[in-house]
Amino acid sequence: MTEPRFIAVFDVGKTNAKLVLHDLAQRADLFVASEPNAVRHDGPYPHYDTDRLWSFLLASLAACAAEHRVDAISVTTHGACAALVDDRELVLPVLDYESALPEETGPDYERLRPGFEESFSPGLPCGLNLGRQLYWLERLHPDSFARARHILLYPQYWVWRLTGVAASEVTSLGCHTDLWAPASGTFSSLVRRAGWRMKFPPLHSAFAAVGMLRPEIAAQAGLGERPVPVHCGIHDSNASLLPHILGRQAPLSVVSTGTWVIALSVGGAMGGALARLDPARDMLANVDALGRPVPSSRFMGGREYDLLTGRSGAVPSPAETGRVLDGAVMALPTFSPGTGPFPSHTGRWTADPASLSPGERAAAASLYLALMTGEMLGAMAAGGPTIVEGPFARNDLFLEALGALTGRPVLASSGTTGTSAGAALLAAGEADHGRDEVAYRQTTAPPDVARRILGYGVRWRGLLDGASAKRSSRMAGRPDLDPVSSA
């Protein structure tokens, strides 16, 4: 049987969905189509427009197949998302994890959810803990929830629509869901206490071809009668991680960038240990495609970068970067409340952003992202090179600053999207793919710029420490104030 080479990847991010055809032999994307991942606000609650995404998937798959051979299909999606289905269709819309509605469950859910030492899943706002979403849906829509035959994690929902096969998989189950116990590799006590275990279909490896593309879809896409295997699918951050854990020796770190910036530490000195994880700083254990816990930390970096820059797309000149560094123009966390390494802080500028050029704002935002990412890596005592995936792998100032701040090599992974390339590897199996599987670009700040970045970082951290001290003083003797949510 011919080894699969051309892999169609359905990549559903929080902001955009893509259909990418990845050539495993050339490590290149031959076809890319994109569609905004809109949230609908009609119906019972904010939800993803799965019908629109399905139409996009079918149309783009047909466009891709008109130009190229498709040997297999893989799926990767953002986390904190599940679909409740019967034998034919959704029984409820797929809830948007940014909705605050699941927080209505409050203390009732807290009594059910496992401790951090079991799940390594921190308590998060809105619907970012998938277990909280499910609990809320069951309480608010008990009849529909009872009618659901399967709880499908989001990659496996699309696999089910493509093949008719229901499956579960650990990278999405282990993504701050409260549903998984990473150290033991089993469902958490929450699943048993809530009575949900029978609704989760059998576990499969992310690499497994769980079924063939349904014949009617293959015909609609012009794929002919040749069977097209569909692989089980993978959580997007773990898709970004996969090429590196298959092709490089630990220790190493991978920073997956997009709407979220997620730092993953593999085998770091002291810092790979799960015991270092602090749930109050948005640290958690992900689970990789091989089923192993991976210490992780995250913040909503892409979203915050867009807020800080006004989505201008500007690239700072050296002069603009210099003015920001020397003038100590800074963005201080956090602009996505309740998330990241400083979840209780309120984001602010040290200068009026309206007085800055677009390039200066982009420079300050890039430095902010590097400082926040450096904080996450330091908290995990990450070791080895840092590999940056996704759109910020093309941001040289971010890369240079991250290298200067961490004192470790920073390698930008080539390619248009790390998630799609990683998800395509599922079709190649679990073998070690060798160090030449991924091309890297190293960018290092000139020594004088590196020194200025380090000084900037010291001043930035000093402002944060000062703000924390003032806030602690304000809260002294105020037990009514929540140390996580108060500002």
- Contact criterion met (CB below 8 Å) for 170 and 156: no
CATH number (domain holding residue 155): 3.30.420.40
pLDDT for res 479? 40
Q: Are 174 and 269 within one domain?
A: no
DSSP state of 384: S
pLDDT value of position 418: 78
Q: Which amino acid is at 398?
A: F
In a domain? residue 481: no
Burial class (CB in 10 A: 0-12, 13-18, 19+), 312: middle
Residue 215 CA to its chain's centroid (Å): 32
Are 274 and 268 in contact by the 8 Å Cβ rule? The answer is no
Any domain includes 280: yes
pTM of this structure: 0.84
The predicted pLDDT at position 423 comes to 97
- 442 and 306, same domain (yes or no): yes
In a domain, 142, yes or no: yes
Domain assignment present for 217: yes
pLDDT at 340: 93
| Segment 86-108, tens digit of pLDDT | 999 999 999 999 999 999 999 99
Q: Check whether residue 282 and residue 210 sit in a common domain.
A: no
Question: Does the residue 175 lie in any domain?
Answer: yes
- The total number of structural domains in the chain stands at 2
Q: Which domain holds residue 27?
A: 6-232
| Residue 415 lies inside a defined structural domain of this protein | yes
- The per-residue pLDDT for range 128-155, each reduced to its tens digit, is 999 999 999 999 999 999 999 999 999 9
What was the pLDDT predicted at 168? Answer: 98
Q: Are residues 169 and 244 in the same domain?
A: no
Q: Which of 212, 232, 252 is the last residue of a domain?
A: 232
Both 466 and 402 in one domain: the answer is: yes
Residue 487 in any domain: the answer is no
In a domain, 251, yes or no: yes
Note whether 82 and 152 are same-domain residues.
Answer: yes
The pLDDT value given to residue 224 = 85
Q: Please indicate, yes or no, whether residues 268 and 417 belong to a single structural domain of this protein.
A: yes
Burial 101-130 (b: 16+ CB within 10 A, else e): bbeebeeebeeebbebebbbbbbbbbbbbb
Peptide bond into 334 cis (omega under 30): yes
Tokens of 185: 């590799």
Residue-level pLDDT at 371: 98
Q: Which residue has the tokens 């994109």?
A: 34
**Looking at the structure, do residues 333 and 374 belong to the same domain, yes or no?**
yes
Q: Examine the fold and report which residue of 232, 254, 279 is the final residue of a domain before the chain moves on.
A: 232
Q: How far apart are CA 33 and CA 107, in angstroms?
A: 44
Task: Point out the domain boundary residue: 191, 213, 232.
Answer: 232
Q: What is the 3-state secondary structure (H, E, C) of the chain?
A: CCCCCEEEEEEECCCEEEEEEEECCCCEEEEEEEEECCEECCCCCCEECHHHHHHHHHHHHHHHHHHCCCCEEEEEECCCCEEEECCCCECCCCECCCCCHHHHHHHHHHHHCCCHHHHCCCCCCCCCCHHHHHHHHHHHCHHHHHHCCEEEEHHHHHHHHHHCCCCECHHHHCCCCCCEECCCCEECHHHHHHCCHHHCCCECCCCCEEEECCHHHHHHCCCCCCCCEEECCEEHHHHHHHHHHHHCCCCEEEEECCCCEEEEEECCCCCCCHHHCCHHHCEEEEECCCCCEEEEEEECHHHHHHHHHCCCCCCCCHHHHHHHHHHCCCEECCCCCCCCCCCCCCCEECCCHHHCCHHHHHHHHHHHHHHHHHHHHHHCCCCCCEEEECHHHHCHHHHHHHHHHHCCCEEEECCCCHHHHHHHHHHHCCCCCCHHHCCEEECCCCHHHHHHHHHHHHHHHHHHHHHHHHHHHHHCCCCCCCCCCCC
Q: Do 223 and 243 reside in the same domain of the chain?
A: no
Same structural domain for residues 376 and 467?
yes
Which pLDDT value is given to residue 73?
Answer: 98
pLDDT lower than 50: segments of the chain: 270-272, 434-436, 475, 477-487
278 and 388 together in one domain: yes
pLDDT of residue 97: 97
Same domain, 228 and 241: no
